[in-house]
Amino acid sequence: MAFFDYFRKAPKTAALAKDRLSIIVARERTGSRSGGASYLPQLQQELLAVIARYETIDIGNVTVNLDKSGGTEVLELNIVLPDAPPPPAPRTTHPALA
Amino acid sequence: MSNASKVVVVTSGKGGVGKTTTSANISTGIALQGKKTVAIDFDVGLRNLDLVMGCERRVVYDFVNVIRNEAKLQQALIRDKRVENLYVLPASQTRDKDALDPEGVGRVIEELKQMGFEYIICDSPAGIEKGAQMAMYFADEAIVVTNPEVSSVRDSDRVLGLLAAKTSRAELGGPAIRTHLLLTRYSPMMVKRGEMLSVGDVLELLGIPLLGVIPESKAVLQSSNKGAPAILDETTDVAQAYLDVVFRYLGQERQHRFIEDEKRSFFGRLFG
């Protein structure tokens, strides 16, 4: 229906495609084309291991990102800590001693 | 002579974007300019370059036979019947991509250089596995074929990463492979409507120089139906676009075409 298409506002899916690609391409480039960042997955594992010694963390709440803007590289480590520390286990008295 | 030859890989990552079409047209176009040219099909197991170039019935020996010393290179090379200086080295249809190894491929390429081939065009299989890596391993230059479409752009970016890391030049610390972007199946009308990534968008995302834009056209299918590369019929837009690409590649200035939507009348837009 070319007649109606002419008056319809065109959907700008190309802009959406470009935005999505900018993000995915930047993410995939760290480690391959930029070089030097190939240690990122291992760094993430080791950082996690250290933090897990002190805090109960959920792996899904940890992101490690290497972003390049201009001449600077920014290593971003984002860890969401649990809301409140787990309550100490209640001290119960053994029934035999009650 | 041998240091004058150039090894060019035509690659993309994603399948179906026009690698084989591009290999056939560019090798034909370069040969038409009087340069001794060979197109090698690296798609072992799924050979198609012979079909697109119309020499499928003349295949006796193939690339893998030569690598395995079962045939001489001269026996496997097919001389094109239409264009002087043009040869095809077909892939094997009965083996798999593991039949290629760097030593064998390197030996064949060196022998082609000794035979005086000025341009050695390597038609890569899709993917980023062994076959694709063999096709790019000895390249001096790469033509990265991309469609203005998200998966193709992403895959091209992966391939650029491989070109920078998994090639002879990268491993030996030589000068980086020169990369060129060839944007195929382009529709200026859709770009104008905001429905397709523009050539500017893709250039910005991939960050490599533009070799050319090939418009979406029925002529591509018709030429593969006939087994005659589109570039041979200069009346089509695809032929014009590939001719531009060849001249540009050989160092001539050519303005980019087929990027802007041609003028359409008000009625054309209403009823088109």
DSSP string spanning A15-74?
Answer: HHHHHHHHHHHHHHHTTTTS-S-TTHHHHHHHHHHHHHHHS---GGGEEEEEEEETTEEE
First-to-last alpha carbon distance for chain B, in angstroms, is: 54
Closest residue on chain B to A31 (Cα): B161
* Residues A14, B197 contacting (CB under 8 angstroms): yes
DSSP conformation class of A9: P
Distance CA B241, CA B93 (A): 31
Instruction: Please give the Cα distance from B200 to B183 (Å, whole number).
Output: 11
pLDDT tens for chain B, 272 residues long, are: 445 899 999 999 999 999 999 999 999 999 999 999 999 999 999 999 999 999 999 999 999 999 999 999 999 999 999 999 999 999 998 888 889 999 999 999 999 999 999 999 999 999 999 999 999 999 999 999 999 999 999 999 999 999 999 999 999 998 999 999 999 999 999 999 999 999 999 999 999 999 999 999 999 999 999 999 999 999 999 999 999 999 999 999 999 999 988 765 566 556 54
Which residue has tokens 């290497």? Answer: A66
CB–CB contacts below 8 A, A to B:
59
Q: Please name the residues in contact with B102: beta carbons below 8 A apart, sequence gap of 6 or more.
A: B134, B137, B168
A10 neighbourhood in chain B, CB within 8 Å: 193-195
Contact B157 A6 (CB under 8 A): no
Contacts of A40 (CB under 8 A, 6+ apart): A30, A31, A64, A66
B150 chain-A contacts, CB cut-off 8 A:
17, 20-21
Contact A32 B201 (CB under 8 A): no
Question: What are the chain B neighbours of A25 within 8 Å (beta carbons)?
Answer: 153-154, 157, 205-206
- Give CA–CA dist B47/B52, Å, rounded: 10
- Give the span between the Cα atoms of A17 and B234, in whole angstroms: 34
Residue pointed to by tokens 């993917």 = B127
Residue of A16, A33, A34, A38 to mutate, testing the B interface (most B Cβ within 10 Å of its Cβ): A33
Q: Across all residues in chain A, what is the average pLDDT?
A: 71
Question: Considering only alpha carbons, which residue of chain B is nearest residue A23?
Answer: B205
Whole-number pLDDT of residue B1: 42
Rounded to whole angstroms, how far apart are CA atoms A21 and B196? 13
The complex's ipTM works out to 0.80
The predicted-structure confidence for B137-151, as pLDDT tens digits, reads as follows: 999 999 999 999 999
Structure tokens at B126: 């899709």
* Residue B146, min C-alpha distance to chain A (Å): 14
Closest CB from A3, A14, A28 relative to B201? A14
Give the tokens for residue B23: 């290999």
B157/A20 touch (CB, cutoff 8 Å), yes or no:
no
